Amino acid sequence: MAELNGFEIGLILLLLFITTYNCIILPPKHTGTNQALIFIQGANLPADKYTDLLKEVQSRATSALWIAIPEFTLNMPNPLEIQEKIENMKEEIAKHVKVEKYFYAGHSLGGYMLSEFVRKNSKDLSAIILMGSFLTRDVTRLSWPDGEYIIDYPVNVLTVGGELDGMCRVTRMAEAYYKQQVNVKMAKQKDKFPLVIIGGINHAQYFSGEPNSFIQKNDLKSEITKLDGFNIISQVIVEYIENYEDLDSSQILKTLREWTEEFIAPLITAFHMEGYYQFKPACYNKSLENANINTCGHGSPWSNRGQIIMGGLNATKLRNVSLQNDDNFHRVYTVTPVHLPIVNNTCSGDIPCILHSITVSENYYERFDNVLDTGFYAESALEIKCKMSSRQRIWEKAGLKDVNFNKTDLGDICKAINQVSLDYSKSITAKRTLARYNIKGVPFVMGPDLGPYNEGPLWIWHYMNYKAVNRDGKNEIFVQSPMMRTSTDYPIASARGFHYCKLLSPARVLEHIYIDSLRTED
């Protein structure tokens, strides 16, 4: 065994000298199968705050369900204590009855610590329930060559999310849903790793009393009472415990799974339009054109839409010419090699013709989410850095003569593309969610383009601007895109005919509609 360092020894001594409270709730029913549920508390949430919910769970169980709630030192679930806590709870229950099936459940940080513990400690365990938490990304992997997900986890898992959870975002739940229910290689894993979203509940809905200050600051407002929340959550827990091996036998779980599928569908669509790196990592080939394979992302479908809008062929008289774009993911700052947008052919303008263009994009994500897979930070791209051909270049390639750059490209074209993203995203949002946003949400409003930043590094490192403003007594988020634009006779030949934008991802819009627009609600 490796020697402990001074910090670890000190922490263990601290844990030994601080008294904690462990609770076992005897079942009201002592007939039938004896089962046990060991529950792991959330961070800074005393264990007794979960007693009311878990008693409701007990009252609904058809068998004798013993419940144990170990309390961790300083109310912080941690890897040093979790094994001892769970073993102690099992020993205490064993003094009363012989348990036939064990289940574990955890909320928030407790769910995370539990899921990590179970990966190597699953003996005699039937299933676990994660509430306001999820299986982390490292338990899923893409299979070759089909690009479907395989989940490497030893026991069945139910993941429960809240529609209005401000601590564990439904956008992170959507990613988990995609990997566990949609793009999953083995059909049987769909029932082994179900995920449900409960409408109207937030992160604080799983426990009694006031949330701690951190949750109060960051959680969204629930739309149902605490009692109603306990009612539906307890039903879900009991139905899963009693039907985890045959989910179709539970009408409640079936109905909730169907609602979840419909609720999450717009988020998955928007992530696909972005080319979400957590669905598939970017290909990043050395050549301009990425490979077309299932295990990496070729490019952003939204950038394809952006180049077509940038091209603006519908504003010309060229009814016979259309534009088809192939976006490719690359790091926009690389210079060996440098990846630049191109148009591969020309048209005469008077016969049917398709222009074929290539753009270069890189999705930029919140740095914390890449390091800490907690669901707390935004999941969608902050911006899509997109290198596009200018409208002037597209028109010239389409066959038009004497195209004036000052007329084609001096307007706020990036703003126009981002407005389309906003409108499109609203169109795919569920009516219930969009109505909430329209009434309570702080809206995105597109502002004029910033720049031009015609020195490449300046455009790269000027990020999409999201600025909170108050206009005429109304709060808004003013969104502006840094841009770079050059004419086809620009002095530097290698930089001619470009119009770069920071594109607003539809997934970022939906994440704002579903979550962040509601944070500043009075």
Contact 197, 260 (CB under 8 A): yes
Is residue 287 one of the residues assigned to a domain? no
Is residue 400 one of the residues assigned to a domain? yes
Contact 323, 343 (CB under 8 A): no
Contact 151, 140 (CB under 8 A): yes
User: Residue 183's CB: how many other CB atoms inside 10 A?
Assistant: 18
Same domain, 81 and 196: yes
Same domain, 356 and 419: yes
Same domain, 226 and 367: no
Same domain, 309 and 258: no
Helix and strand counts by DSSP (H, E) for the chain: 17, 18
In angstroms, the CA 237 to CA 54 distance is 9
What's the pLDDT at 290?
97
Residue with tokens 């109505």: 435
What's the pLDDT at 13?
45
Q: What angle do CA 151, 157, 162 make, to 5 degrees?
A: 110
In angstroms, the CA 327 to CA 322 distance is 16
Residue with tokens 């809008």: 309
In angstroms, the CA 181 to CA 191 distance is 8
The structure tokens listed for 520 are 């500043």
Same domain, 243 and 347: no
CATH of the domain at 196: 3.40.50.1820
What's the pLDDT at 18?
44
Is residue 285 one of the residues assigned to a domain? no
Residue with tokens 């930029």: 364
User: For residue 336, how many C-alpha atoms fall within 13 Å in the half-sphere facing its CB?
Assistant: 0
Alpha helices (H) along 3-50: 6-17
- C-alpha dist (Å) from residue 321 to 305, 353, 358: 16, 5, 17
**Backbone phi, psi, residue 85, to 5°:** -60, -45
Helix or strand run (H / E) with residue 255? helix 251-274
In angstroms, the CA 47 to CA 40 distance is 8
Taking alpha carbons only, the member of 278, 251, 238 closest to residue 62 is: 238
As a three-state string, the secondary structure of 169-228 is CHHHHHHHHHHHHHCECCCHHHHHCCEEEECCCCHHHHCCCCCCHHHHHHCCCCCCCHHH
Is residue 38 one of the residues assigned to a domain? yes
Same domain, 255 and 310: no
Is residue 70 one of the residues assigned to a domain? yes
Same domain, 336 and 235: no
Is residue 271 one of the residues assigned to a domain? no
What's the pLDDT at 5?
61
Same domain, 198 and 318: no
Same domain, 244 and 347: no
Cis bond before residue 211 (omega within 30° of 0): no
Number of domains, the chain = 2
Same domain, 253 and 311: no
Is residue 292 one of the residues assigned to a domain? no
Q: What number of residues does the chain have?
A: 522
Query: CA 272: distance to chain centroid?
Result: 12
Same domain, 375 and 489: yes
The last residue of one of the domains, among 266, 290, 324, is 266
The structure tokens listed for 273 are 């339009």
Is residue 146 one of the residues assigned to a domain? yes
What's the pLDDT at 370?
66
Domain that holds residue 497: 301-518
The last residue of one of the domains, among 266, 291, 319, is 266
What's the pLDDT at 19?
42
Helix (H, G, I), strand (E, B) or coil at 91: helix
The per-residue DSSP string of 425-453 comes to: HHHHS-HHHHHHHHHHPPPEEE-PPB---
Q: What residues pair up with 3 in beta bridges, in sequence order?
A: none
The per-residue DSSP string of 276-330 comes to: -TTTS-B---SSSSPP--TTSB---HHHHHHHHHHH-GGGSS-TTEEEEEEEEE-
Same domain, 317 and 206: no
In angstroms, the CA 72 to CA 81 distance is 7
Q: What residues pair up with 362 in beta bridges, in sequence order?
A: 385
Contact 206, 160 (CB under 8 A): no
The structure tokens listed for 92 are 């205490």
Mean pLDDT by 10 residues, the chain (522 residues): 52 46 74 90 96 95 93 96 96 92 98 97 97 97 96 98 98 98 95 98 97 96 97 98 96 97 98 98 97 97 98 92 97 94 91 96 86 91 98 97 96 97 97 96 98 91 96 94 97 96 98 93 47
Residue 53: which region, alpha, beta or left (left: phi > 0; alpha: psi -120 to 50)? alpha
